[in-house]
Amino acid sequence: MENICVGVRVRPTVPSELSNGTYWKVEENRISLHKVHGTPISGLSYAFDHVCDGSCTNAMVYELLTKDIMHAAVEGFNGTAFAYGQTSSGKTFTMSGSETDPGIIHRAVKDVFAKTQLISDREFLIRVSYMEIYNEEINDLFAVENQKLQIHENLERGVFVAGLREEIVNNTEQVLKLIRSGEVNRHFGETNMNVRSSRSHTIFRMVIESKAKDTNLSSDYSSSDAIRVSVLNLVDLAGSERIAKTGAGGVRLKEGKHINKSLMVLGNVINKLSDGAKQRGHIPYRDSKLTRILQPALGGNAKTSIICTIAPEEVHIEETKGTLQFASRAKCITNCVQVNEILTDAALLKRQKLEIEELRKKLQGSHAEVLEQVILTLRNDLLKHELEREKLQIELEDERKSHREHDKSIWEQQMKIVDLCDIVTSSGFDTKSGQDSVTQCLKQECNDSNSICHGDTFRTPCVKASPKAFVAKRSSYLTLPDYSPLPDTFSNVVDEDTWLRINKGHIVDLDSLQMTLARKVQSFPSSDATPVSLYCFIFPKN
């Protein structure tokens, strides 16, 4: 945000209008009303960015109040300078100047071209136009046939006057020549206040476009490819006037009314803008063509300077007070200023290419392709491991099943042994009865206990026939199979569960059992042989 620059310029006093009562005193950037004897009048002292007394030349005014804006315009900032004040206070003199002391417009044009010459790395295209607002109608001062032009607004151009002739210019002389031709078309008129009074507001406009000279050398598209476009308005307003003073009538009266009305709207806009953002509400830019055209300069995107001209004579004291109050309010206005850049299609294309290139570099920088390959490999490995795991799971299941079957088989074998032992113990063993007696007895036992019996094969142990737990001692043998009834390696056939049951107390002598496990029976003894101890065990019935 940037405050509007406001300065006051005091026109030299007209000798015939010398004051006897009061006078305006200028001290640095302050102007105040004093009594003839030097006493300041309270409440009538104003401070501004600059105050120029009657001795100031246009050169000084330009330097103090407008030069920076012209230079900024060359760099891409919108700029506006305008003179405001009552009739005959020196507005036209300030803006247009004289032969010996050229005004702001002349100096600005010269300065802009001089400045562009100093910027060697950019090329410029400058267009100028010149218009007036006469009786609230816009006329083209470069082309008299272009009358009553309309104001339009769009996103690309903002507010603009349709049909206004724009001349492309290359140097100061060319522009000054055009301005002179335009001046011929301006509406001037004689009033009691000014022999050559401006009857219209005039706006001289320069549109300054620039772009970097060699776009290929730089990759910074924002500064190299963008085109900067700034609009510079140099405005000479018609002066407010009191009809009684100007003695206007007829055409002059009509002109005066239009002038005063549009200046009143300008005052309203300034008042609203000076209220501050929160209170300002609706800004009546559209109430006059002047404020509509100057909209960007008033609270918009432009560097703005207002040169308020005053007539120091005592007879104009009320108009001067009004001008100073207007200036004070204008001082409160802030504009939001920024360089205006637009991108051409070529610039946009280049920007996109650069963005794509940057993205590609980023991708390469992060080794995205390599990472993708790694992820793929990891995924494959994971899948392989998963399959392997499933295969092992199946194998484990098979193994467990096989173990269970094996255990069952062992258990059945053990049960058979138990039953046999039982039979042997309870019925005694006779070598004569032999195998047949045992078999018969076993069958009988099996039948008694409702066990399933298929021929000579016992499928179910005859637990009924067995005491809950005991250790049988065999004192004599029949023909026994030529192998140990227990496996060679006990741990191969008993699982932990079996061991638990064993250790719960049904083994009288585990060492003996182990010894039995290791013993391979070679032959069975005869009836008179020394009895050999055989330890058998059974499990408790759960």
Ligand X SMILES: Nc1ncnc2c1ncn2[C@@H]1O[C@H](COP(=O)(O)OP(=O)(O)OP(=O)(O)O)[C@@H](O)[C@H]1O
Chain residues in the site for ligand X (CB under 6 A): 11-12, 85, 87-93, 194, 196-198, 238-239, 309
* Phi, psi for residue 343 in degrees, rounded to 5: -105, 130
Q: Which is nearer to ligand X, 24 or 477 (CB)?
A: 24
CB of residue 313 vs ligand X: minimum separation in angstroms?
11
CB of residue 97 vs ligand X: minimum separation in angstroms?
9
Q: Which is nearer to ligand X, 88 or 340 (CB)?
A: 88
CB of residue 168 vs ligand X: minimum separation in angstroms?
30
Residue 85 annotated as binding site: yes
Tallying the residues shown for the chain, one arrives at 542
Residue 86 annotated as binding site: yes
Q: Which is nearer to ligand X, 76 or 102 (CB)?
A: 102
Q: Which is nearer to ligand X, 263 or 302 (CB)?
A: 263
Q: Which is nearer to ligand X, 260 or 437 (CB)?
A: 260
The closest alpha carbon to 295, from 457, 430, 469, 161, belongs to: 161
Map tokens 């006897």 to a residue: 20
CB of residue 60 vs ligand X: minimum separation in angstroms?
10
Kind and range of the H or E element at 303?
strand 303-310
Q: Which is nearer to ligand X, 203 or 347 (CB)?
A: 203
Query: 333 with 274: CB under 8 angstroms?
Result: yes
The Cα 389–Cα 128 span in angstroms is: 84
The Cα 142–Cα 156 span in angstroms is: 24
Q: Which is nearer to ligand X, 14 or 342 (CB)?
A: 14
Kind and range of the H or E element at 194?
none
CB neighbour list of residue 386: distance below 8 Å, 6 or more residues apart: none
What DSSP string runs through 248-288?
--HHHHHHHHHHHHHHHHHHHHHHHHHT-TTT-----GGGS
DSSP 241: -
Residue 516 annotated as binding site: no
Please compute, for residue 538, the number of CA atoms within 13 A of its CA located in the half-sphere on the CB side.
23
CB of residue 190 vs ligand X: minimum separation in angstroms?
10
Q: Which is nearer to ligand X, 80 or 197 (CB)?
A: 197
CB of residue 288 vs ligand X: minimum separation in angstroms?
17
Q: Which is nearer to ligand X, 238 or 486 (CB)?
A: 238
CB of residue 65 vs ligand X: minimum separation in angstroms?
14
Instruction: Provide the token pair at 39.
Output: 């006493």
CB of residue 286 vs ligand X: minimum separation in angstroms?
25
The Cα 300–Cα 294 span in angstroms is: 9
Q: Which is nearer to ligand X, 246 or 516 (CB)?
A: 246
Specify which residues 81 forms β-bridges with: 234, 305
Residue 451 annotated as binding site: no
CB of residue 72 vs ligand X: minimum separation in angstroms?
26
What DSSP string runs through 372-433?
HHHHHHHHHHHHHHHHHHHHHHHHHHHHHHHHHHHHHHHHHHHHHHHHHHHHHHHH---TTT
Instruction: Give first-to-last CA distance, the chain, whole Å.
Output: 97
Q: How far is CA 490 from CA 181, 221, 311, 487, 496, in A?
A: 127, 88, 130, 6, 11
Query: SS3 for 40?
Result: strand
Task: Give, to the nearest 10 degrees, the angle between helix 104-118 and helix 172-183.
Answer: 160
Residue 89 annotated as binding site: yes
Residue 103 annotated as binding site: no
Q: Which is nearer to ligand X, 61 or 302 (CB)?
A: 61
Query: 297 with 332: CB under 8 angstroms?
Result: no
CB of residue 80 vs ligand X: minimum separation in angstroms?
18
Instruction: Provide the token pair at 456.
Output: 């000579």
CB of residue 34 vs ligand X: minimum separation in angstroms?
21
Query: 198 with 92: CB under 8 angstroms?
Result: yes
Map tokens 């064993």 to a residue: 502
Specify which residues 188 forms β-bridges with: 198
Annotated binding site for ATP: 85-92
Annotated binding site: 85-92
